[in-house]
Amino acid sequence: MSVLEVRDLTVRFGESVVVDRVSFDLDVGARLGIIGESGSGKTLTALAVIGLAPEGADVSGSVRLDGAELLGRSERELADLRGDDITMVFQSPLTSLNPLQRVGRQVAEPLRLHHGLGRAAAADEAVRWCGRVGLPDPERSAQAFPHQLSGGQRQRIGIAIALACRPRILIADEPTTALDVTVQREVLDLLDTLIAEQGTGLLFITHDIALVAQVARQLMVMRAGAVVEHGDVGDLVGRPQHDYTRQLIAAARATGLDEQDVAR
Amino acid sequence: MSPQAGAALLVANGVSRTFKLPRGSLFGPRAERHAVRDVSLELAERGSLGIVGESGSGKTTLVRALLGLDPGAVGTVTFRGREVRPGRSSQLRWYRREAQLVLQDPLSSLDPRMKVAAIIREPLACLGVDEDHDRRIDEVLEQVGLSSAARGRYPHEFSGGQQQRIAIARAIAPRPSLLVGDEPVSALDVSVRIQILDLIRGLVDELGLSLIMISHDLGVVRYLCADVLMMKDGEVVERGNAAELLHRPTHTYTRQLVAAVPRLPVESS
């Protein structure tokens, strides 16, 4: 049994089906990438998994965490899981962070809520996390407001908040899309190290196939709400079966860098 | 007489731009930020130059100066030997016809209250283009792969890729010789991005345009440009042939940047 089992997940808005019978498993330490273009339903899939689908969405199918069904649970029960067992990193830390709160407090919040840490213990742990995610002078960084940090630093805080409670599943939705390429590399390396240490299962959502090929081991290609192809990254990129996957890869290769370009 | 390929089209010397920052305290000194520092460059007729850098590197500020859009910049720019700057930007109507710009976000660069025909007609009218405007509108729409049925529709009725086609149609309508793109494909999905890049490449070829392409994406720049200018903190850190620079970067920053770009695993045969 996998930690997270998603079966025939379907999201409808009235007549229109925007996520169409999506199924996948995610285990501790596994890394699954979902790739798709705008409107493919990749983000909505993730939101539906953690019970955050927008109002008016009709979600059906099954989402099991450790065998227990999540769909249909009360908001209160879900809120208990979110930020603890399953957490999320969003694309834009400037909108996902609270602009009025010092970042240390935002890292401490889930620790107090879910792990019952006291104020001082949570604050200490938050400072430690600011260090772990590579912020300079953690004591001082924890006192900063989001706008005082750079884009990359803000996303490091987003990662600290998501990982502080040692979740079993982390959902990252385009976590580096807003960042410069050198910063993107640093943030990905950080994410990679931390989830490897903690054995977190990763669901990585992006439009960038070259990026996801570096992060994920399994890959799911979505188009118009449905999964068109699902397999190992190597197989899928090396021998794509579906025309749409072939198109995506051809486009990425044409405008990407290749072996002859300087690598790390 | 058509200008010879290889002759200098655009020449810039010592272009700099400084912005004053707010005072730290009421009577404190005003700090300055050098957004662009002493950049010189030359673009040949039918040449293509990519300007690459991360956010804040000064690439857009540089291009604004090259286009004579920034009276606050210093340095000289000439186009086929004619002065673009210094000098009054109000006297650059001839240059506006020669150099046309395509921006990143078509939804903000296209007027939402104007129909497509009016959007494309505007530069023809403002720049006093002396030909049948209606015919020209149909012509450029066809060149960017849209039908003349697009004329009566509004920008929001089109997809992002189609909107960018409209922006390109507007840019080529006055028959410029230089096309400047500021991240024109950054907001697009990969499969649409390649179509727009191919469109630009085709038009550059077919119309004999010169091209300046601003991008943070090295792959995009290589796809379209023969030469690259690598910027960091307002300065040019490296320049040269695009493929050469990607294969053998000499500057540490270029090397870091190239190495940081994610790439697909090698194709299995």
CATH code (residue B46): 3.40.50.300
Write out chain A residues lying below 8 Å of B256, CB-based. 182
Q: Is residue B269 part of a domain?
A: no
Query: Are the beta carbons of A210 and B264 separated by less than 8 Å?
Result: yes
The yes-or-no verdict on residue B64 having pLDDT over 60 is yes
C-alpha distance from residue B162 to each of A18, A251, B107, B146, B183 (Å): 23, 18, 11, 8, 16
Residue B262 confidence (pLDDT):
85
Instruction: Provide the pLDDT for residue B178.
Output: 96
User: Where does the pLDDT of residue B137 fall: very low under 50, low under 70, confident under 90, or very high at 90 and above?
Assistant: very high
- Contacting residues of B for A184, CB less than 8 Å apart: 260, 262
Write out the DSSP string of B158-206: S-HHHHHHHHHHHHHTT--SEEEEESTTTTS-HHHHHHHHHHHHHHHHH
How far is the C-alpha of A162 from the C-alpha of A169, rounded, in Å?
10
User: In Å, how far are A25, A151, B16, B184 from B51, measured between CA atoms?
Assistant: 44, 23, 16, 13
Residue B123 in domain: yes
Q: Which of A159, A250, A238 is nearest to A204 (CA)?
A: A159
Domain of B152? 8-259
| ipTM, interface predicted TM-score of the complex | 0.74
The per-residue pLDDT for A262 is 66
Distance from CA of B153 to the nearest CA of A (A): 23
Would the CB atoms of A262 and B249 count as touching at under 8 Å?
Answer: yes
pLDDT tops 50 at residue B100: yes
Q: Is pLDDT at B74 greater than 80 in this prediction?
A: yes
Q: Is residue B218 part of a domain?
A: yes
pLDDT over 90 (residue B72): no
Q: Do A180 and B54 touch (CB under 8 A)?
A: yes
Question: Does the pLDDT value for residue B268 go beyond 60?
Answer: no
Query: Residues B218-231: what's their mean pLDDT?
Result: 92
| B58 occurs within a structural domain | yes
Predicted local confidence at residue B107, as pLDDT: 80
Q: Tell me the pLDDT band of B123, cut-offs 50, 70 and 90.
A: very high
With an 8 Å Cβ cutoff, is B241 touching chain A? no
* Residue B3 belongs to a domain: no
Check whether B3 has a pLDDT greater than 70: no
- Residue B245 pLDDT class (50, 70, 90 cuts): confident
Q: Cis link prior to B86 (omega < 30° from 0)?
A: yes
pLDDT digits (tens, 9 = 90+) for A113-135: 888 889 999 999 999 999 999 99
Hey, is the C-beta of B249 within 8 angstroms of any chain A C-beta?
Answer: yes
Q: For an interface test with A, give the residue of B221, B246, B261 to mutate (most A CBs within 10 A).
A: B261
Mean pLDDT in chain B?
A: 89
> Which of A212, A235, A258, A264 is the best mutation test for B, with the most CBs of B within 10 A?
A258
Chain A contact present for B251, CB below 8 A: no
Q: Residue B50: which pLDDT band, with cuts at 50, 70 and 90?
A: very high
For chain A, 264 residues long, give each residue's pLDDT as a single digit of tens.
789 999 999 999 999 999 999 999 999 899 999 999 888 999 999 999 999 999 999 999 999 999 999 998 988 888 888 888 999 998 887 788 999 999 999 999 999 988 888 999 999 999 999 999 999 999 999 999 999 998 889 999 999 999 998 999 999 999 988 888 888 888 899 999 999 999 999 999 999 898 998 899 999 999 999 999 999 999 999 999 999 999 999 888 888 887 677 665
Interface size A-B, in CB pairs within 8 Å, comes to: 102
Task: Confirm whether pTM is higher than 0.95.
Answer: no
CB contact under 8 A, A262 and B248: yes
Q: Is the pLDDT of residue B40 over 90?
A: yes
pLDDT tier, B2 (very low <50, low <70, confident <90, very high otherwise)? low
For B156-176, how does the pLDDT look when each residue is reduced to its tens digit (9 = 90+)?
999 889 999 999 999 999 999
In a domain, B238, yes or no: yes
Please report the pLDDT score of residue B1 as a whole number: 43
Q: Does any domain span residue B139? A: yes
- Taking the CA of residue A168 and the nearest CA in chain B, the distance in Å comes to 26
pLDDT at B79: 94
Q: What is the predicted pLDDT for the residue at B189?
A: 84
pLDDT at residue B54 tops 50? yes
Tokens of B268: 């299995």
d(CA A212, CA A207): 8
The whole-angstrom separation of Cα B47 and Cα A61 is 56
Q: What is the mean pLDDT of residues B84-105?
A: 87
pLDDT of residue A264: 55
Grade residue B77 by pLDDT with cuts at 50, 70 and 90: very high
Cβ contact, residue pair B190, A263, below 8 Å: no
**Total domains present in chain B:** 1
CA distance A34 to A216: 9
Residue B265 lies in a domain: no
pLDDT at A180: 86
**Sequence-ordered strand ranges (E) for chain B:** 8-20, 32-44, 48-52, 74-79, 82-85, 99-102, 178-182, 210-215, 227-232, 235-241
